[in-house]
């Protein structure tokens, strides 16, 4: 039987500590809440009161339950108040020497059988435990912020943590209504090890002026369904906290360059730009501690009218290709009021594309998302062709043919001869260099990438890719077209993976490496990212959906271009692809889908 915890102590009543106090008190456990001074104690008391009052106001907590909760919390200055608790959780700032001093003192104060736990998110639990004479009773219990809301707890055992201590803490997590994942003591554990490599990469992207902060954040929210963009999330976490976590993980985790803090991060911390808490980070906030973003000198000006910035007028659009992507793009343009010329190789393919567009539009009518008259009008705007010559009078061409450079270059050379001057020529490539396609024409200034996401009618994001030869007018035209389609266009340079894939796939590759090292299971890693970081899918769920072969191809491209050792494809990913385990499409990937 797991032991019953009747009283727990919490050391440190910042946002995290006060949240942990609330979690225990909500679940009927008495809490001794400790701070270093009376003013700090009052701040902690105010944080707890603010959180519980908000829960009452939102109807998530009855007034009687709030009052009972507050009754269970005893506030005290100094660690001596913890002499009779069953478990202590420390939630002080992430400094090893500070935590070691506190644990040495807790070892002296607490009963011999009490469990001592740290809420560290990046430091070594083992190094903290050796400050005590009972390292077998020391464990990591890593809650996520805000603790009352977030479901995940990482339970971190060291090589000497007693098995019964682990079992007791796992049972406690279940009593608190949390989902626990139990792991060994390694830099960053699961969630931070995967999250912070991605966040650091996003800062590097911003530092190199590859894309604006707004476009990087919009790309990850709209392209991946994440609750927040990486730079807004960094501001929420605090840039000083993020720097400490990355620096610790870099030093402890084998000096992986993915975790070496980007220089800009250190500069911002030194300048006092710490994110929301200081009122300024990657964004500027109404006041310190406020979540409300206000415009600053880096905020893009709102362009009035579709033809701002020298954008050209677009009325007629050609779409070349007959696959899913081409079909979706034809539908998007036709619904938005553009005249569309669909060009495929042969009338048989045209008939198939026409049928697919009709089916999709009819679904929209059945679901009540499209009026019958609008469906008929959209179909009336499309003309079907099997010859490129019919693109002679269009204003924009969108190419959505097979991802082979030779095929795309040949197509663009033909378009160069057929299309009138001033036409914007766009490729939907997701992996090839746009400049290679552009240089197959005599008009590289008019060539851009327009990377739609699948399914194009649903996904709100388009990556607008400008090469070093793309003119500002062509970029402005592409942005204006995205806006007219009701899409969010994000502008980036012509680098492998653009924004979304360049940030997403190294994170997925890191998850495979974590599994490969037997650090955790696919299920626990997926749980950690969904419950700890609010991701819509765990990395292994997503890999199986995308296809392991597709994922490997993208990761190889990124590695070839950046030559960063941390981007080398995980051997396990290569082995699964070689074995034909490609994910859902072959009914076997990281998981077996044959019975689903």
Q: Which active-site residues does the annotation give? A: 121, 142, 154, 192
User: Which two three-digit tokens encode residue 118?
Assistant: 């740290």
Q: Are 98 and 123 in contact (CB under 8 A)?
A: no
Residues whose CB is less than 8 angstroms from the CB of residue 148 and which lie 6 or more positions away in sequence, other chains included: 19, 22, 23, 26, 51, 55
What is the residue-wise DSSP string for 412-461?
HHHHHHHSPTT-EEEE--SSS-HHHHHTTSS-GGGEEEEEE-SSTTT--E
Consecutive H or E run containing 501: helix 500-516
Three-state DSSP class for residue 398: strand
| Edge-first strand listing for the sheet containing 73-77 | 73-77, 30-35, 7-11, 87-90, 115-118, 138-143, 152-157, 179-184
Kind of pairing, strands 339-343 and 138-143? unpaired
Q: Using CA atoms, how far apart are residues 512 and 495, in angstroms rounded to an integer?
A: 24
| Measured CA angle at 123 (ends 273, 125), to 5 deg | 155
Q: Specify the length of the chain in residues.
A: 596
- What's the maximum distance between 2 C-alpha atoms anywhere in the chain? 86
Calpha distance 474→222 (Å, rounded): 23
Handedness of CA 374, 380, 386, 387 (dihedral sign): negative
Give the SS3 label for residue 86: coil
Find the angle CA(120)-CA(124)-CA(125) to the nearest 5 degrees: 70
CA distance linking residue 487 with residue 333, whole number of Å: 11
Question: Cα 450 from chain centroid?
Answer: 22
Residue 370 CA to residue 302 CA, distance in Å, equals 29
| CA–CA distance, 546 with 534 (Å, rounded to integer) | 19
The per-residue b/e assignment along 26-37, b for 16 or more CB within 10 angstroms, e otherwise, is: beebbbbbbbee
Judge contact between 537 and 546, C-beta under 8 A: no
Q: Residue holding tokens 């998850």?
A: 511
């Amino acid at each position: 039987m797991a032991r019953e915890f009747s009283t727990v102590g919490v050391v440190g009543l910042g946002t995290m500590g006060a949240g942990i106090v609330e979690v225990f008190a909500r679940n009927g456990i008495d809490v001794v809440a400790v701070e270093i001074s009376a003013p700090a104690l009052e701040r902690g008391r105010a944080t707890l009161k603010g959180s519980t009052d908000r829960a009452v106001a939102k109807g998530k907590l009855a007034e009687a339950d709030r009052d009972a909760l507050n009754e269970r919390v005893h506030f005290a200055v100094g660690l001596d108040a913890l002499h009779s608790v069953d478990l202590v959780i420390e939630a002080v700032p992430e400094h090893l020497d500070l935590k070691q001093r506190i644990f040495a003192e807790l070892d002296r104060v607490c009963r011999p059988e009490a469990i001592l736990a740290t809420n560290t998110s990046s430091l070594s639990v083992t190094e903290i435990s050796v400050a005590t004479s009972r390292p077998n009773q020391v464990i990591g219990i890593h809650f996520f912020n805000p603790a009352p809301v977030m479901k995940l707890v990482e339970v971190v055992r060291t090589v000497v943590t007693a098995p019964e201590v682990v079992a007791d803490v796992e049972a406690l997590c279940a009593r608190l209504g949390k989902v626990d994942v139990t792991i060994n003591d390694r830099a960053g554990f699961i969630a931070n090890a995967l999250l912070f490599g991605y966040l650091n990469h996003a800062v590097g992207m911003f530092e190199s002026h590859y894309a604006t902060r707004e476009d990087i954040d919009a790309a990850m929210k709209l392209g991946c369904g994440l609750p927040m963009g990486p730079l807004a999330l960094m501001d929420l976490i605090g840039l000083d906290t993020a720097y400490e976590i990355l620096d610790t993980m870099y030093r402890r985790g084998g000096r992986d360059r993915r975790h070496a803090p980007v220089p800009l991060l250190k500069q911002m911390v030194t300048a006092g730009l710490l994110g929301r808490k200081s009122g300024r980070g990657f964004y500027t906030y109404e006041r310190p501690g406020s979540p409300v973003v206000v415009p600053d000198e880096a905020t893009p000006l709102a362009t009035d009218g579709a033809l701002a910035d020298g954008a050209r007028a677009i009325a007629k659009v050609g779409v070349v290709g007959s696959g899913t992507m081409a079909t979706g793009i034809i539908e998007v343009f036709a619904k938005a009021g553009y005249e569309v010329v669909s060009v495929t190789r042969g009338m048989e393919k045209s008939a198939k594309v026409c049928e697919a567009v009709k089916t999709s539009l009819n679904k929209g009518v059945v679901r009540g998302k499209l009026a019958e008259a609008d469906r008929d009008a959209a179909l009336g705007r499309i003309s079907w062709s099997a010859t490129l010559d019919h693109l002679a009078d269009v204003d924009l061409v969108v190419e959505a043919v097979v991802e082979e450079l030779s095929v795309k270059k040949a197509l663009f050379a033909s378009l160069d001869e057929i299309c009138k001057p001033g036409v914007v020529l766009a490729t939907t490539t997701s992996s090839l260099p746009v400049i290679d396609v552009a240089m197959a024409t005599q008009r590289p200034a008019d060539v851009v990438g327009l990377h739609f996401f699948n399914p194009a009618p649903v996904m709100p994001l388009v990556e607008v890719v400008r090469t070093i030869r793309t003119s500002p007018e062509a970029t402005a035209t592409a942005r204006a077209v995205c806006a007219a389609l009701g899409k969010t266009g994000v502008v980036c340079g012509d680098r492998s993976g653009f924004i979304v894939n360049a940030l997403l796939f190294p994170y997925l590759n890191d998850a495979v490496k974590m599994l490969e090292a037997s650090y955790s299971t696919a299920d626990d890693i997926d749980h950690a990212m969904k419950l700890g970081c609010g991701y819509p899918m765990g990395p292994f769920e997503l890999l199986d959906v995308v296809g392991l072969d597709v994922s490997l191809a993208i990761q190889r491209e990124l590695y070839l271009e950046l030559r960063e050792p941390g981007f080398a494809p995980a051997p396990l990913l290569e082995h699964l692809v070689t074995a034909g385990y490609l994910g859902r499409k072959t009914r076997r990937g990281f998981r077996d889908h044959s019975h689903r």
